[in-house]
């Protein structure tokens, strides 16, 4: 029996090539798996960072929106307060003007002025004429001889009704009522329309403001 001839060199080369090929394929797969794994890890990291950045941006946006909302509400509240105060001031001013017009009209009545002058003249003479004269300041219209009302008032208030030392003075600064000025222009009694209106307004303003503010 003849011995089996040894494998040819061609077969050994083919095996070597096959092993190299298999090793290369295996190494390539491992490298591909590693690259794919690292790529997935990098993608996951980037995605997590992007989500965190998006969440931070959304939080900052929400905080800014809230700040803007609070600032807007504060501005609106301040504007509402300013408007309410301005409105209250306007209404109070008109109320005071109304009181003054009402008082001026009431204290310009000739009969009222006549009785007021007599009362003031009597008090001024009794209390203050020892040290000098006194002047009773009245609206110009009341003492005007050029008008029927003025002539009637002067006729009704004859000079013998006033005590000696008391003078009647037409004062453009007195719209209604009267005021007594003593010797040396020292004001002692002020019952002018302006003074009476101021007194009434001062008494009514707290109640009026309470009504405006809804407290009553």
Phi, psi of 167 (to 5 degrees): -115, 150
83-138 tens-digit pLDDT: 877 877 777 778 788 888 888 888 888 888 888 887 777 765 565 555 556 788 88
133-169 tens-digit pLDDT: 678 888 888 888 777 777 777 776 665 555 556 778 8
Please say if the pLDDT value at position 194 is more than 80: yes
What is the pLDDT at residue 43? 84
Please say if the pLDDT value at position 208 is more than 70: no
pTM given for the model: 0.51
Query: Strand 177-182 vs strand 186-192: parallel, antiparallel, or unpaired?
Result: antiparallel
**Between vectors from CA 170 to CA 161 and to CA 141, what angle results, nearest 5°?**
95
Euclidean distance between CA atoms 190 and 107, whole angstroms: 13
Phi, psi of 3 (to 5 degrees): -70, 150
Per-residue pLDDT, averaged over 32-36, amounts to 78
Domain ranges (residues) in the chain: 17-216
Task: Find all residues with CB under 8 Å of 147, minimum gap 6, and list them.
Answer: 141
Task: Find all residues with CB under 8 Å of 177, minimum gap 6, and list them.
Answer: 103, 107, 113, 116, 191, 192, 193, 194, 195, 196
What is the pLDDT at residue 1? 46
């Amino acid at each position: 029996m003849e011995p089996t001839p040894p494998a040819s060199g061609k077969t050994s080369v083919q095996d070597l090539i096959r092993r190299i090929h298999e090793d290369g394929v295996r190494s390539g797969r491992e490298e591909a798996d590693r690259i794919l794994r690292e790529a997935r890890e990098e993608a996951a990291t980037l995605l997590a960072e992007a989500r965190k950045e998006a969440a931070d941006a959304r939080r900052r946006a929400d905080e800014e929106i809230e700040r803007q909302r609070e600032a807007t509400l504060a501005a609106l509240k301040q504007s509402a307060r300013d408007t309410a105060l301005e409105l209250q001031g306007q209404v109070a001013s008109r109320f005071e003007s109304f009181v003054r017009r009402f008082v001026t009209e009431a204290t310009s009545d000739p009969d009222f002025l006549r009785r007021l002058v007599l009362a003031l003249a009597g008090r001024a003479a009794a209390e203050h004429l020892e040290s000098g004269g006194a002047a009773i300041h009245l609206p110009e219209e009341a003492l005007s001889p050029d008008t029927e009302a003025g002539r009637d008032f002067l006729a009704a208030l004859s000079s013998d009704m006033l005590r000696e030392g008391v003078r009647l003075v037409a004062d453009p600064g007195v719209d209604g009522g009267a005021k007594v000025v003593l010797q040396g222009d020292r004001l002692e009694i002020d019952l002018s329309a302006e003074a009476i209106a101021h007194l009434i307004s001062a008494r009514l303003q707290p109640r009026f403001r309470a009504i405006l503010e809804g407290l009553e």
